Amino acid sequence: MNAAEPDQILEDEARLQLNQDGSLRHLLTLRGLDRSLLVEMLDDAERYLTPPGELPAHSKALTGRTVANLFFEPSTRTRASFDLAGKRLGADVLNLDVNTSSRKKGESILDTIYTLEAMRCDIMVVRDASAGVPAYIARHVKDHVSILNAGESDVSHPTQGLLDLLTIRRHKGSFGNLVVSIVGDIRHSRVARSTGWGLNTLGVGELRLVSPPAMAPDPGEMPFARLCDDLDKGLAGADVVMALRIQRERISDLEGIPGTEEYFSTYGVSHERMKLARPDAIVMHPGPMNRGIEIEGGLADSRQSVITEQVANGVAVRMAVLERVVKSLGAR
Ligand code: CP
């Protein structure tokens, strides 16, 4: 779709998602969004959080609008939370069943989009295994349509990045003095990239990317982060520890990747390993989890874990993003 260098593609996407006045038209990547916009989106999401025991927040911000969820890769959290977010804002929400759609008969992605555009969908939420798909669609839709990236290959997962930032901010307040360790399959993780870039924009004290050498990112890809292949060193003194799933669906060559038991003993985040982090450190995981591989099951369910809070914050973040982009759409 685009033969340009990866950095050039990301810069083009960063520009494409903003209107000329700087307002958010699409959400394709956290790269290129400035600090004030990220903070505003986190503040907006806070407004949609309600205490346990209270009913979830609702508003009429999207009344009359239609949100289409197009997930060309599996999802539980992201898809369900965009569905709930749209409904809680009063939108009509269409969840296209990709497996029974005409994509299976060879219809192109753009013809699928044009079909939904003709049905007056305003916001299309797209997850796809191929890099560049959300931006490719964004370049072809009409002015009254917004595209939200719900997970793009190993490149980007911006709403996951935002919900991770919100979760960290709610527990730790500010970012400047924090040590954040992201552990596991960094190379194939769109979450590590989005959360990592977001943390950098918000001025995190130190970001460590801890992985086996075969799962490390390319050198220089996230120049602000410290790469580390030793879990104990990676966890020492950390305020926030995020474990990542091995992204087997994106790994073509398993060479150099430890087997399951060896992986847990060398890179698994456990109660024992967490003694190296700060006593008040929080444990995160974007899900889905493989208990006993990248994280000890009991730790995931412990008081240190904020994994279910991440899920709750995801609905609020998606409500905030939907509300924001709908304000910036052109006339039909
Ligand atoms: N974190 C995340 O994207 O989860 P799902 O694949 O379940 O949406």
pLDDT digits (tens, 9 = 90+) for 176-219: 999 999 999 999 999 999 999 999 999 999 999 999 999 999 98
User: According to the model, what pLDDT value does residue 328 have?
Assistant: 86
Confirm if 34 and 201 have CB atoms less than 8 A apart.
yes
4 within some domain: no
- Whether 286 lines ligand 1, by a CB cut-off of 6 Å, is yes
Does the N-terminal peptide bond of residue 51 adopt cis geometry, omega within 30 degrees of 0? no
Residues 188 and 127 placed together within one structural domain of the fold: no
Counting Cβ atoms within 10 Å, is residue 77 exposed (0-12), middle (13-18) or buried (19+)? middle
Residues 300 and 201 placed together within one structural domain of the fold: yes
Residues 258 and 165 placed together within one structural domain of the fold: yes
Residues 164 and 298 placed together within one structural domain of the fold: yes
- Give percent of the chain above pLDDT 70: 97
Q: Which residues form the domain of 184?
A: 158-311
199 within some domain: yes
DSSP 226: E
Task: Give the span between the Cα atoms of 179 and 238, in whole angstroms.
Answer: 5
Residues 38 and 75 placed together within one structural domain of the fold: yes
Residues 120 and 176 placed together within one structural domain of the fold: no
Task: Give the span between the Cα atoms of 151 and 94, in whole angstroms.
Answer: 18
5 within some domain: no
Task: Give the span between the Cα atoms of 72 and 130, in whole angstroms.
Answer: 10
**Ligand 1 centroid – CA 188 distance (Å):** 14
**Ligand 1 centroid – CA 96 distance (Å):** 17
Residues 73 and 193 placed together within one structural domain of the fold: no
Task: Give the span between the Cα atoms of 324 and 3, in whole angstroms.
Answer: 31
296 within some domain: yes
Q: What is the arithmetic mean of pLDDT over 71-94? A: 97
Task: Write out pLDDT tens, residues 131-181.
Answer: 999 999 999 999 999 999 999 999 999 999 999 999 999 999 999 999 999
- Whether 77 lines ligand 1, by a CB cut-off of 6 Å, is yes
Residues 170 and 128 placed together within one structural domain of the fold: no
Per DSSP, the three-state class of 264 is helix
CATH of the domain at 114: 3.40.50.1370
Residue from 143, 135, 220, 205 nearest 174 by CA: 205
Taking the model in full, what pTM does it have? 0.95
Residues 27 and 168 placed together within one structural domain of the fold: no
Residue from 312, 194, 177 nearest 242 by CA: 194
- Whether 149 lines ligand 1, by a CB cut-off of 6 Å, is no
Count of domains for the chain: 2
